[in-house]
Amino acid sequence: MDILVTEELDAPAIQRLAEKHRLLRDGTLWKDAAKLKAAIREARAVMVRNQTQITAEIIAAAPQLVAIGRLGVGLDNIDVPAASKAGVVVIAPLDANATSVAELTLGLMLALARKIPAGDRSTKAGGWDRKGCTGIELDGRTLALCGYGRIGRRVAARAEAFGMRVVVFDPFAGAETPGRCGRLEDALAQADFVSVHMPLSAETKHMFDTGKFDVMKRGAFFINTSRGGLVDEAALVAALRSGQLAGAGLDVREVEPPRAATELETLDNVILTPHIGAFTAEAQTRTIEAVAADIDRVLRGEPAQNFVNFAQPRR
Ligand code: NAD
């Protein structure tokens, strides 16, 4: 077998790959590490979304592996250093879904500011609660962007078009970055909206905790389209319950899908979406086409174009 696909994935690009290479698809493999370990043994390439955990152990169990294709951007489910060490290239088209995630972020901000879900719920229930649905404008408000990479910068451009003032916390952003703050707390304290766009790592896990919510302006809104693990969900619930935060928009959760309903599901001022930041027709097509083309290249002995590590193909 040349290519193993471990999550639900169907697209013309996959069909084309299947015509050229021996491709095995099992959308349940991500749920069972032992089954994955057995299935990957013969694979030369593996294609994953964000659910499959490609650990050092899994890579070690795949002696034929030369490429990991990540249909997305977050790399927290792949042990990239272990892949590099094993000579396995990690393919991820980093620009392919940034616009979609940025647009969802603006959507969540607008939905929170204008109470669109509450208006929808109450109107469908027979109400006509114009007063209860009184919102605020984005125009003139301050947005703090935590992480100013591909997505953060696209959100900034769109927010500025709405008349927002943008401040930025990103330790790796250049000094010339407009609105750059040296400390996260300085950005948070100014913001009416806080939006998170940084990777999840050991260093950033639970970065947004009680201390961070406390320094935010009372009545601010919090949006996370990055990774659930960046946020201490219990602290977020407490901040929402106390009124310290006016609302939250979360596309990502610490456990996905959540194993049991938490308090977040019970709060009217919280909008939850099922990790759909990259789920637009355009982003999916761009991503799958780019990864499939690179997998084909690597299997034919050519270098990948969208790689995130430096690894010499083993064969
Ligand atoms: P990117 O690498 O272009 O930008 C990330 C930025 O975060 C970089 O500028 C980096 O300097 C900054 N950063 C790193 N550590 C930081 C820290 N400790 N504090 C503040 N900033 C820090 O990545 P991107 O394409 O903008 O994506 C950002 C994140 O969005 C990804 O890591 C991924 O987890 C998430 N994402 C989610 C979806 C979705 O479907 N919801 C889709 C794509 C990406």
| Pairwise CA distance, residues 170 & 187, whole Å | 10
Q: Residue 37, Cβ neighbours under 10 Å: how many?
A: 16
Decide whether any atom of ligand 1 lies within 6 Å of the 97 Cβ: yes
Decide whether any atom of ligand 1 lies within 6 Å of the 212 Cβ: no
Respond yes or no: is residue 227 known to be catalytic: yes
Are the C-beta atoms of 135 and 183 separated by less than 8 Å? no
Mutating to test ligand 1, I would choose from 151, 154, 200 the residue with most ligand atoms within 8 A of its C-beta, which is 151
Catalytic-role residue among 256, 263, 289, 297: 256
Catalytic-role residue among 49, 253, 275, 286: 275
Let me know the angle formed at the C-alpha of 188 by 184 and 192, rounded to the nearest 5 degrees.
155
- Per residue in 211-267, pLDDT (tens digit) is 999 999 999 999 999 999 999 999 999 999 999 999 999 999 999 999 888 999 999
Confidence at residue 275, expressed as pLDDT on a 0 to 100 scale: 96
With the CA atoms of 39, 44, 45 and 46 taken in that order, what torsion angle do they form, in degrees rounded to the nearest 10? 10
Are the C-beta atoms of 105 and 223 separated by less than 8 Å? yes
Confidence at residue 312, expressed as pLDDT on a 0 to 100 scale: 62
Confidence at residue 10, expressed as pLDDT on a 0 to 100 scale: 85
User: How many residues are recorded in the chain?
Assistant: 315
Respond yes or no: is residue 256 known to be catalytic: yes
Radius of gyration of the chain (CA): 21
Instruction: Find all residues with CB under 8 Å of 242, minimum gap 6, and list them.
Output: none
- Alpha-carbon distance values, 272 to 56, 218, 252, 262 (Å): 32, 21, 8, 12
Are the C-beta atoms of 193 and 171 separated by less than 8 Å? no
Confidence at residue 189, expressed as pLDDT on a 0 to 100 scale: 98
| Pairwise CA distance, residues 76 & 113, whole Å | 31
* Strand partners of residue 221: 193, 247
Decide whether any atom of ligand 1 lies within 6 Å of the 98 Cβ: yes
Q: Residue 183, Cβ neighbours under 10 Å: how many?
A: 11
| Pairwise CA distance, residues 6 & 83, whole Å | 17
pLDDT beneath 70, residues of the chain: 312-315
CA 38 from chain centre, in angstroms, equals 29
Q: Which of helix, strand or coil describes residue 4?
A: strand
The number of the ligand 1 atom at minimal distance from the alpha carbon of 276 is 40
| Pairwise CA distance, residues 250 & 102, whole Å | 13
Are the C-beta atoms of 69 and 298 separated by less than 8 Å? no
192: left (phi over 0), alpha (psi -120 to 50) or beta: alpha
DSSP E strands in 160-286: the ranges are 165-169, 193-196, 220-224, 245-250, 270-272
Decide whether any atom of ligand 1 lies within 6 Å of the 229 Cβ: no
* Domains detected in the chain: 3-96+281-299 (3.40.50.720), 98-272 (3.40.50.720)
- Per residue in 88-99, pLDDT (tens digit) is 999 999 899 999
Retrieve residue 151's tokens: 């997505």
Confidence at residue 122, expressed as pLDDT on a 0 to 100 scale: 96
